[in-house]
Amino acid sequence: MTVTPIHLLSGFLGSGKTTLLNHVVDYYKAQDIKAAIIMNELGDVNLDGQFVDQAVPMAEMLSGCICCTIRGDLSIELKELIEEHRPDVVIIESTGAANPMEIIDAITEATLFMRIDLRTIATVVDGPELLARSKRGGRTFKLMQDQIRCATDLIVNKADKLAPEELVEVQQLVRELNAYAPLTVTVRCMTQLDMFDLKAAPKTKPDANEKRQHDSVSEHVCGANCNHDHGHGHDHDHDQADGYVSHAHVMTLTHYIAGPVNSHAFEALIKNLPQEVYRAKGIVTFTDTNSRFLFQYAYREVEFIRITPQGNVSDVAVFIGEHFAKDVLEKELAKIEDPYWE
Ligand SMILES: Nc1nc2c(ncn2[C@@H]2O[C@H](COP(=O)(O)OP(=O)(O)OP(=O)(O)O)[C@@H](O)[C@H]2O)c(=O)[nH]1
């Protein structure tokens, strides 16, 4: 019986996971390997999915995180995806706020009733953001550290936004947290994708599949740098007892935009988002142009890309951050949605 290899893409919000996913999809396509994807989004819509090859089977898990609120659904989605499409490999893109330990647990739980093999945990590190957060600490920095600790492969991304001495500092920081995983420095996740090579991965012995799963995962999770109590399980109460509430502090706002809006007003709104909003994305139609745009906002940088959405997609904006004032943002959005706005 075949065993389906699974690769998990981890990394904080906006670090470059979808950018990497696209490279991995192309990598398999070039080798005629059939890949399938599970995409998890905190918001109610899968905007990243718009950018992935539509020929690739994809299961969307929205409005929650596979590491906690919709964790139970992961095995069901995996099972259905594998049974329906019989892929050679499955790539899971987690939400950037996900605690990787919990996802690893969820995947290994799924090995109890299906033949899958978690091969790779590739963590994309947002270089500049890690550096900035390392200076001020906090829960988000702790989550980033966990994502680095868990990785079997590390991709330090956004090197274009780092001075040479900052790049050295980031690499040292990452190495202190995880001395074992191969580390690559990238711009837009452009790298050799050897970690996803199915031939290079160790052969799975069918009878030993389940044991090997747990061995291979615990090997790297419980390395010298790891400070997690895996024997204790994975509930969030345990985390709270440690004074660490996973990502419970992260909140989202999904706003369906009423109609075309003025491009200058919209851009100004995005550029003036409060510090607490660290990620936003969406699809928007402007009154002053003829086309629709996908916008991406990560850590004070905004990007607009002209698109023709696949299928019936509404104009929508998703905001992700920590304790931001949703009502204030809603009011700002309502202002620019007003057709009499000047
Ligand atoms: N300057 C710069 N921008 C990058 C780089 N890699 C990705 N980006 C941009 O960063 C933004 C986020 O990239 P994504 O690949 O969507 O990141 P993600 O981790 O999937 O984001 P979430 O799904 O929200 O967690 C996009 O606007 C990308 O174009 C890079 O190396 N340098």
Q: Mean of the pLDDT values across residues 40-51? A: 72
- The closest of 301, 310, 264 to 283, measured between CA atoms, is 310
DSSP string for residues in 60-85: EE-SS-TTTTTTTHHHHHHHHHHHHH
- Quickly state the pLDDT bin for 208 (edges 50, 70, 90): very low
pLDDT exceeds cutoff 60 at 68 = yes
Residue 168 has pLDDT above 60, yes or no: yes
Q: Residue ranges of the domains in the chain?
A: 4-241, 250-337
pLDDT of residue 135: 94
Among 19, 37, 155, 187, residue to substitute to test ligand 1 (most atoms within 8 Å of Cβ): 19
Residue 240 has pLDDT above 60, yes or no: no
Q: 342 falls in which pLDDT band (50, 70, 90)? A: low
Q: Which region among 49-63, 102-116, 161-175, 257-271 has the lowest average model confidence (pLDDT)?
A: 102-116
Predicted pLDDT at 49: 66
What residue owns the CA closest to ligand 1's atom 15?
16
Greater pLDDT, 90 or 218: 90
Does the pLDDT of residue 218 top 70, yes or no? no
Choice between 210 and 268, residue whose per-residue pLDDT is larger:
268
The answer to whether the CB of 259 falls within 8 A of the CB of 285 is yes
The band of 131, judged by pLDDT with boundaries at 50, 70 and 90, is very high
Least confident of 115-124, 208-217, 308-317, 322-331: 208-217
For residue 311, the model assigns a pLDDT of: 67
pLDDT tier for residue 30 given thresholds of 50, 70 and 90 = very high
Greater pLDDT, 338 or 132: 132
Average pLDDT (196-222) is 44
Nearest CA to ligand 1 atom 11: 14
Residues 271-292 as b/e (b if ≥16 CB within 10 A, e otherwise) read: eebeeebbbbbbbbbbeeeeeb
Q: Given the CA of residue 297, which atom of ligand 1 is nearest to it?
A: 27
Into which CATH architecture does domain 250-337 fall? 2-Layer Sandwich (3.30)
> Token digits for 216?
């291979």
Higher pLDDT, 101 or 121: 121
Ligand 1: residue whose CA is nearest its atom 1: 158
pLDDT mean over 174-202: 90
* Ligand 1 atom with least separation from CA of 41: 23
Q: Do domains 4-241 and 250-337 have the same CATH topology?
A: no
Q: Are strands 153-157 and 183-185 parallel, antiparallel or unpaired?
A: parallel
ipTM of the complex model: 0.98
Is the pLDDT confidence value at 22 over 70? yes
pTM: predicted TM-score of the whole model, two decimal places = 0.74
- Whether 286 has a pLDDT exceeding 80, the answer reads yes
| 100 close to ligand 1 (CB < 6 Angstrom) | no
- In tens, the pLDDT along 3-13 reads 899 999 999 98
Helix (H, G, I), strand (E, B) or coil at 190: coil
Q: Which atom of ligand 1 has the smallest separation from the CA of 281? A: 24
Q: Where are the alpha helices (DSSP H) in the chain?
A: 17-30, 73-85, 100-110, 127-136, 139-149, 164-177, 209-221, 236-241, 263-271, 326-337
Q: For residue 189, report the distance from its CA to the centre of ligand 1, in Å.
A: 9
> Tokens standing for 334?
């309502």
282 lines ligand 1 (CB under 6 A): no
Q: Does 177 score more than 70 pLDDT?
A: yes
Q: Which atom of ligand 1 is nearest to the CA of 303?
A: 27
CATH of domain 4-241: 3.40.50.300
Of the CA atoms within 13 Å of residue 53, those in its CB half-sphere come to 17
The pLDDT score that the predictor gives to residue 225 is 35
Q: Is 158 in the pocket of ligand 1 (CB under 6 A)?
A: yes
Q: Report how far residue 272's alpha carbon sits from residue 277's, in angstroms, rounded to the nearest whole number.
A: 10
Other residues' Cβ atoms within 10 Å of the Cβ of residue 224? 7
Average of per-residue pLDDT across 188-204: 79
> Residue 27: pLDDT above 90?
yes
